[in-house]
Amino acid sequence: MEDFIIPINFDDETKKIIIGTLSQEIIELFNLSREPGNIILWQDRLKYIEKHKSDFDSEEEFWTHIRQIPNIIKNPDYIGLHPNDNSIQYIKRINHIMLVGVRIRTTGDLNFRSCYPISEQTLENYLKCKTIIR
């Protein structure tokens, strides 16, 4: 089965898409008090993350990475809980080290928050502080 890729443009009818699931494995890993659930990307969040285009060498490179959000969630290299904002951080090396933030809720769907590249130093700091694990 081919990996799901996010479309660059939502059509007029689509306001949200399912980009992944919070698995039982992650729930148990972080001792979350909730059931597995869908992770939703709302159309306005895609617009929100466009502010990170300047972190890439080109618009094409930006969209190449953004389209991989479902794959980052499905197969992260690192995962952790943000210590202050009640979100799960999925991190994966593509050409850049990409962080996907997903807001944790106790019930229902989870909401995609943001996606952006982080530096090698930031990754090392997260590992050193043990806010993420492999």
What's the pLDDT tens digit per position in 98-110?
999 999 988 999 9
Whether the pLDDT of residue 79 is over 90: the answer is yes
98, exposed or middle or buried, with CB in 10 Å at 0-12, 13-18, 19+? buried
The reply to whether 54 falls in a domain is yes
pLDDT of residue 47: 82
Domain range for 84 is 17-133
pLDDT band, very low/low/confident/very high, at 11 (cuts 50, 70, 90): low
pLDDT of residue 2: 46
The reply to whether 78 falls in a domain is yes
The number of distinct structural domains making up the chain is 1
The reply to whether 75 falls in a domain is yes
Whether the pLDDT of residue 128 is over 60: the answer is yes
The reply to whether 1 falls in a domain is no
pLDDT of residue 19: 92
pLDDT of residue 12: 67
64, exposed or middle or buried, with CB in 10 Å at 0-12, 13-18, 19+? middle
The reply to whether 2 falls in a domain is no
The reply to whether 97 falls in a domain is yes
Q: For residue range 18-70, what is the model confidence (pLDDT) as tens digits?
A: 999 999 999 999 999 999 999 999 888 888 898 999 999 998 999 899 999 99
